[in-house]
Amino acid sequence: MTWQQCAAGWRDRESRSRSGLDGRGFHGFQEETGGGGGSEKVACGLAVDSPRVAQPAAVHSFRYSGKELFCENVSLSALAKRHGTPLYVYSQATLSDHFTKLDQALAPVPHLVCFAMKSNSNLGVIRTLAGLGSGFDTVSAGEIQRVIAAGGDPRRCVFAGVGKTEEEIAFGLRNDIYSFNVESEAELRRISRVALKLKKIAPVAVRVNPNIDAGTHAKITTGTYENKFGIAFEEIEGVYARAARLPNLRLRGLQMHIGSQLTDVTPFRKAVEKVVPLVERLNRKHGFDFFSIGGGIGIVYNPALASGDPAWWHTAAGRKVLTPERYAATLIPLLQPLGLKILLEPGRFITGNAGALLTRVEFIKKTGRKNFVIVDAAMNDLIRPAFYDSYHEIVPLVKKSGATVSSDVVGPICESGDYFAKDRPLPKVGEGDFLALLSAGAYGAVMGSTYNSRPLAAEVLVNGSRSAVVRERQPVEEIWRNEKTAPWQTARPGRGKSGR
């Protein structure tokens, strides 16, 4: 089959999926496989059909049933009342569905989907994906340890990041990770030294910076020469030539990643088109196993709730969104001739729309110009709006009727930047009402802090009609458990009482 025939076939497959001719839609939970028909695999409670047809664009499991907002078959109001707020809630079905769609879309090439743990490193999330055969993109020894703790395989881990310590490199070598994604020649020399000392062969892949502008937020673009990541495209062949002379290194592949939250396939295509000839030349010299094209596929933040309905993906707005099928249709014809394993490193695409942050309204404060909805969640729980000016759709857990009110949704932290929305038309809410901040499964709890001595939020995983706490709410005393006064400071007995 020619490249052109392959591409045409995949475009036809994607078109049929979007038109509903071949789409199978969302997979519900099943505890056991059904009999007869095609083969199925069951992992983490989700039955996934074998790859026979393209599926429609990704959907999620947060939707209203009557007036109440549900995650799968569980009422979010019930979870908020049972576990308190702020509370993160994750849908196992959505995690599994998103991973499976991407995994199946890349089926025509040998590949490994390595989930980018920096987006969400909760053990329940990792265990779900490990059960589906996921690899893991890690950026610290701690993340590798999380993979192991969750029952994942460190041999399916890649280790990225610009500042790996000798201890972290040694940890990766002792656990036989799949590859180090190397960011500099100094790092190559360090890995070589550590591997020599441990009498290990270190698998490495240098990260090439293709100088492609992803057209995304300045703080999450990584593929230009203005960024700290990777080695300039023009220098890569010389770097590999010098690396080949270093002891105890195995030049296993080449890696790139141009940025996050990309909603257009064009930057991906341009980067792959530019780098593939380089991969071919290096492969002839060094005998590669793989080429990693990184992650970066974006998600729907607005309208997050509507995008959970498969019908939305047939609207004009839905048809513009980058899907796994369109991604694969564009890139597979470029990658297939390499004959190498293709690694992907998605994070947000898998977890973003799989999570929501629940919060309680504490006060309504009206000024001459503003209607402030003051909630118990804060920037220490979800920093993205303050840090990136990011949009998260905010909806009540119980539907409200009537006109909307232009509101600022703010937290209790003593910072003007502690907000989730400004001048947002919202239903009229009052003290004690619960709200959900949608699309909060990526870069939410994982970026949480204890600023203002606020405990880390609890996290819950939902599986069909079941739910379980997968991170307990942090007791406030734990925040300072490892602190102590200096020996010369006079101890004074506290006069207050614990809140516990």
Tokens of 396: 């009540």
Tell whether the torsion through CA atoms of 260, 261, 266 and 269 is positive or negative: positive
Provide DSSP, 412-427.
SSS-TT-EEEEEEEEE
59 neighbors 37 (Cβ within 8 angstroms):
no
36/416 Cα distance (integer angstroms):
60
Tokens of 304: 């997050």
438/219 Cα distance (integer angstroms):
21
153/150 Cα distance (integer angstroms):
9
229/231 Cα distance (integer angstroms):
7
- φ, ψ for residue 22, nearest 5 deg: -115, -10
Across-strand partners of 408? 372
DSSP 201: P
Residues with a known catalytic role: 414
Strand runs labelled E in 306-430: 341-344, 355-366, 371-375, 394-396, 404-410, 419-427
